[in-house]
Amino acid sequence: MSTPGLPPLEPADEARIDDLLQAMTLQDKIEQMWQINGADDANVALVRDGCIGSALNVAPDRVDAIQDAARASRLGIPLLIGRDVIHGYRTVFPIPLGQAAAFDEALVETGARIAAREAAEDGIRWTFAPMVDIARDPRWGRIAESLGEDPVLAARLGAAMVRGFQGTLRAEHRTVAACAKHYVGYGAAEGGRDYNTTLIPDTELRNVYLVPFHACANAGALTFMSAFNDLNGIPTSGNRRLLRGTLKATWGFDGFVVSDWGSITEMIAHGYAADAREAAARGIAAGVDMEMVTTAYRDHAADLVADGTLDGAWLDDAVRRILAVKCRLGLFAREGVARRAHPATHGCDEHRAAALQAAAASCVLLKNENVLPLGTGARRVALIGPLADDGADPLGCWAPDGRGEDSVTLRAALEAALRERDGALRYVRGVDTCRSTARDGIDAAVQAARDADVAVLCLGEEAIMSGEAHSRAFLNLPGAQPALLEAVAATGTPVVLVIMAGRPLCLTDVLPRAQAVLYAWHPGTMGGPAIASLLLGETAPSGRLPVSFPATVGQVPIYYNKRNTGRPPGEHNRGIPQGTPLDPVGFVSNYIDADHLPLFPFGFGLTYTQFAYGTPCVAEACIAPHGTIEASVPLANMGPCTGTEVVQLYVHDVAASLTRPVRELKDFQRVTLEPGEETMVRFALPVSALAFTNADGTHRVEPGRFTLGIGPDARCPMDVSFEVV
């Protein structure tokens, strides 16, 4: 059996694996199922004297030493060296949430391929990405690392990253094994607090959270990573039904599963194992093939096999999977593991150009009251804010090998661009850091704004405010930044607000104070030039939101593909008068002190032109379950310049054996039109895409009426209907 997206192993590799398994002692097999951290002398000795399977976080100048030790070991099995190459290696791309805003598979595939190329030059052949956890809660710090709230978007982009990382594998030797993580449901952490409990009904698990993982398996991901969270009472790193069952048996995945850092022994803290011995038994029995950094397997697996608790065949299977990945990567040939003494591609122009393109495509224009793009009238620009003059924070929360000094800041990029236009830029920090509360720098910013034609404020979050273990209970602009914005806005100088953040922030109070808002996420090494090119109109914004933006944190979790409820939210009944009689007027799913709608919906984003949609239609009103939905919509560029629209197709299952989301994204296309150009955008959606797993675990399309909408975001009307008969 081989993972659907991968060719079968070559016979020579099969033979090599059989021979090695024959030669391996039980202890060898157990050590092959272990990943150590770093390559200090003690670890190099462990590798030389043993049969260690993998190492992560190996400094480039220690790669050859530890691989030579592996080669010198009794069986000479090379190490698989892993690293978190999440959104770039030396050349850093936008955070994955930002990349998702591009709605562009080719773009993220290119970014992954570049990351793999640079990492492989340092002897890294395994990355712990793509992270395809569905994230509906912006309080959760790791939303930054996710591909957003939608299963179809995350599935398509996650699969594209797998292809980018792995390429054609051994033929190039500058590829890395992908790792779909964190399997599964990690993003549903209660309260948005990282590592917290997750309670997900099985139908929701299969119809939402597992979808992008299945896509990664089908794309040929060589590895998966089990997660930290307990899911419905069972830690995902001890969940046999989902690992040996769904992933390996049902999906046919024949790569290997690595635990997340310490997640095997954390089953003790979860209360799912009494001690490390039981944790090892749980992990191996569940199908976690390799233990990351902790030593429960190493310390207890032999005893567990000896006393019959564990079937030795499970260890053989795990080792076979690990060795198969090493064969597919070509590690047994020396060039498969060696590092380049002088990495040729780290930060090269080609890679930086791709990072610039990705950063420009990931920015989302949220508001523009005729102030962008900056024209000849904006010669004197006041640039304000700590993030505008910072090379490190814009790299985001997961770029351990990126370097701030490689970045081109927004200040440097805008200064250079304005100089070419005989413009002038004056930079004022305004506040010391994103979180500092001191306001003594605001006056200088106000003065700079008064003397300028336009004030560009670059505000947001430091990189460390998102990412692992960095969840927030509030979603406001931190520190004295709101006061800085308010003071600059009060000057009357037009304000362009550029936000760099690792999550959606609540912009309700911010929006009125800016004439334009550009959301740049954490845009990576080339974020500065990308943002400058957008502000000056050299590039037109095309990003769309991969997550809903809440109006207030009290709405969270908020996502577009929600259920309708029996009392769908109606007109807002805010300000219910005191003494109102308790008659059931306005008894619908609302808040009395806030709107129920997001501030900005999933899929939203402005451009510098205007697109007009005609009436969508489907070719047939009745379609067989094995048929195809032929949908189309006229689209015209009515504005003054070329633009790219992300045309989104949504479907709703009106009545089914489960309540279904009010709409689900089923397809999307990026369409670029010249001014005045018109086109017919066509979709061919297999009816099978409407299938869902129902309460008895059957995955099928249920006949009945569906509605369909095609438009610019998750608010588009669902004004077409058809029947599946």
Q: Which residues are annotated as catalytic?
A: 260
Nearest residue (CB) to ligand GLC, 293 versus 477: 293
Contact 4, 307 (CB under 8 A): no
Interface with ligand GLC, residue 128, by CB under 6 A: yes
Does residue 193 interact with ligand GLC by CB under 6 A?
no
Helix (H, G, I), strand (E, B) or coil at 170: helix
CB of 193 to ligand GLC, least distance (A): 15
> Which CB sits closer to ligand GLC, 128 or 706?
128
Contact 570, 505 (CB under 8 A): no
Whether residue 90 contacts residue 364, with contact meaning beta carbons closer than 8 Å, is answered with no
Per-position x/- string for 619-658, each x denoting binding to ligand GLC as judged by CB under 6 A, each - no binding: ----------------------------------------
CA distance 562 to 306: 50
Question: In the complex, what is the shortest distance from the CB of residue 228 to ligand GLC, in angstroms, rounded to a whole number?
Answer: 7
Enumerate the β-bridge partners of residue 678: 636
User: CA 36 to CA 294: how far, in whole Å?
Assistant: 8
In terms of CB distance, is 85 or 200 closer to ligand GLC? 85
3-state secondary structure of 34: strand
**Cβ 675 to ligand GLC shortest distance, Å:** 45
Q: How many residues bind ligand GLC (CB under 6 A)?
A: 6
Q: Which tokens in the block code for residue 40?
A: 């200090």
Min separation Cβ 520 and ligand GLC, Å? 24
> Minimum CB separation from ligand GLC for residue 263, in Å?
8
Cβ within 8 Å of residue 22, ≥6 positions away: none
Q: Work out how close the CB of 664 gets to ligand GLC at its nearest, in angstroms, rounded to a whole number.
A: 28
Of 129 and 489, which has the nearer Cβ to ligand GLC?
Answer: 129
User: Is-contact 276 305, C-beta < 8 A?
Assistant: no
> Per the omega criterion (within 30 degrees of 0), is the bond before 494 cis?
no
Binding residues among 240-269 for ligand GLC as defined by CB under 6 A: 260-261
CB of 501 to ligand GLC, least distance (A): 20
Give the CA-trace dihedral at 701, 707, 713, 714, to 10 degrees.
-70
Q: Is 196 in the site for ligand GLC (CB under 6 A)?
A: no
468 near ligand GLC (CB under 6 A): yes
**Nearest-approach distance from CB 278 to ligand GLC, in angstroms:** 22
Closest contact distance (angstroms) between CB of 260 and ligand GLC is 5
Residue closer to ligand GLC, measured from CB, 118 or 260: 260
Where would I find the H helices in 522-658?
527-535
C-beta of 88 vs 603, nearer to ligand GLC: 88
Q: Enumerate residues 312-371 that contact ligand GLC by CB under 6 A.
A: none
Length of the chain: 725
The secondary structure of residue 326, as a DSSP letter, is H
Q: Which amino acid is at 391?
A: G
**Cα separation, 72 vs 54, whole angstroms:** 15
Q: CB nearer to ligand GLC: give 207 or 236.
A: 236
Find the radius of gyration of the CA atoms of the chain: 26
Give the nearer residue to ligand GLC in terms of CB position, either 182 or 660. 182
The only residue of 28, 31, 84, 149 in contact with ligand GLC, by rule CB under 6 A: 84
Q: What gap in Å lies between CA 279 and CA 724, rounded to an integer?
A: 48
Work out the angle between the directed axes of helices 105-121 and 349-362 (0-180°, nearest 10): 140
CA nearest to 399, candidates 129, 166, 583, 602? 129
d(CA 49, CA 29): 14
- Smallest CA-to-CA distance from 392 within 379, 411, 407 is with 407
Residue showing the smallest CB distance to ligand GLC in the complex: 128
3-class SS of residue 559: coil
The contact mask relative to ligand GLC for 12-51 (x = CB under 6 A, - = no) is ----------------------------------------
Which member of 113, 181, 300, 328 binds ligand GLC (CB under 6 A)? 181
Amino acid identity at 344: A
Residues 496-555 that bind ligand GLC (CB under 6 A): none
Other Cβ atoms closer than 10 A to 526? 28
CB nearer ligand GLC, residue 84 or residue 230: 84
- Residues making contact with ligand GLC (CB under 6 A): 84, 128, 181, 260-261, 468
